Amino acid sequence: MVALELDERTPRGIAAALARLITSGDLAPGDRLPTVRDLAAELGVSPATVSHAWQTLAAAGLITSRGRSGSFVRSAPRDWLPTRYRGLEGGDAARLDLSRGTPDPELLPALGPALARVSDRASPVSYQAKPDIPELHDLLRASWPAPVESLTVTNGALDAIDRALGTLVRLGDRIVLEDPTFPPFLDLVEFYGLEAIPVPVDAEGMRPEEFARALARGPALVLLQPRAHNPTGASMSAERADLLAALVRRSRMAERTIVIEDDHSSMISSSPEVSLANWLPERVLHVRSFSKSHGPDLRIGALGGPRTLIDRVVARRLLGPGWTSRMVQALLFDLLTEPESVAELDTARESYAARQAALAAGLAEHGVEARVGDGINIWLPVENERSAMVHLAAAGIQVAPGSPFQAGEPLPRVRVTAGMVPVDTAHDVAAALATAAARG
């Protein structure tokens, strides 16, 4: 296809030919490009010539590289988005957007009454004051999934994880993480210059045998999601957590390896709380987010673990954002303690579980096996990722591509935000998903 549009066999000519194909729509967003070596052989030029052309297209925001997975056409140049966030960037035309991985706004607790109750509590405080309000700090400690030495409030789960990585890692450190995993984790791994060791997951989390092999490579960190794993919906059992903790304890880097747990769907998860900190209290940083349960725009989460590690994170934040707004902290405390808000949260948790089950049942009726997961997402196997997404887009349904979630060679998958599908529409949506999944 490139050869047919080619005017000259120079980096500029090759880049211009690809650009024309992209802007004309002959190459669609998400299309995988030929490898540098293959295209060079086809055109009779050196790999360096094609590589320069690829660099030109990337600089223009037309293509993006996903490491060993190859180079792909990008939908639009959005340089403020990290690499894999760009891969998840959706459009606005779909009648049913199941691509975002965000909670249903109708199931979030009402903020108005809580705002009215806390609006008169704000007052100027010292820049050197403790970052957390005492009542929220005590509530978090009382509800933490394991005995915890120190806690601090952060601007959401990713803020906590980013701050922890920034204080703990060195260039070239190895990090064990799930495969698939949350795409921004892979962006953070690249940003900090870490070497990712992906471990596949099953219905209970990381697979023990593969996890043991990963630990044998001496990682500095393990990053995992104990519940409502994004994208698969898996939740770790207490037995699996015990086994993984024992493997960490017996590993050759046991005294150095830190485990970071991202409990991003904590308040809407239907699975019991679990943390490796029950077995490794001195090695685990546990993150709890309230974005899925109380609203992404609150930007609030919490980080708990050994005092020596938490103090380093707190000290670093004081040189940047300082602290999470105490007004927002007071608002969250109100939402976590007022009976009406607590009841709304219980309803949301039950609704998400029912929606997961209804969509999975609908898919099963059409011969598509999809695990009933925890939280709001379903990880759907398809014959061809691109074909499935195009077919669904034609039906007015948008889902997330599976490739940005995968650290290795991607399998054909899409992520579906089941939490946005009411039970009474699940059958019709499942039929559309099943038809798309079979498209080769």
pLDDT(440) > 70? no
The mean per-residue pLDDT over the stretch 245-249 comes to 96
Going by pLDDT thresholds of 50, 70 and 90, the confidence category of residue 64 is: confident
* pLDDT exceeds 50 at position 4: no
CA distance linking residue 422 with residue 81, whole number of Å: 30
* Strands (E) located in 28-101: 63-65, 71-73, 96-98
Residue 91 predicted with pLDDT over 60: no
- Tell me: pLDDT of 82 over 50: yes
Give per-residue pLDDT as tens, 283-296: 999 999 999 999 99
Look at the block and give the residue holding tokens 């108005």: 112
Q: Is 71:83 a contact under the CB 8 Å cutoff?
A: no
Query: Kind of pairing, strands 377-381 and 174-179?
Result: unpaired
Say what angle helices 385-394 and 426-437 make with each other, to 10 degrees. 140
What phi and psi, each to the nearest 5 degrees, are found at residue 111? Answer: -90, -25
CA distances (Å), origin 288, targets 157, 202, 291, 292:
6, 22, 9, 11
User: Which DSSP helix (H) or strand (E) runs through 380?
Assistant: strand 377-381
| Cα–Cα–Cα angle for 91, 224, 172, rounded to 5 degrees | 95
User: pLDDT of 119-157, one tens digit each?
Assistant: 655 555 666 677 899 999 999 999 999 999 999 999 999
State the helix-helix crossing angle for 307-318 and 157-168, rounded to 10 degrees. 100
Q: How confident is the model at residue 89, as a pLDDT?
A: 59
For the segment 177-188, what is each residue's pLDDT rounded down to a tens digit? 999 999 999 999
| Amino acid 121: pLDDT | 57
Distance CA 197, CA 214 (A): 6
H helix or E strand, kind and range, residue 313: helix 307-318
In the chain, pLDDT over 90 holds for what percent of residues?
63
pLDDT at 418 over 80: yes
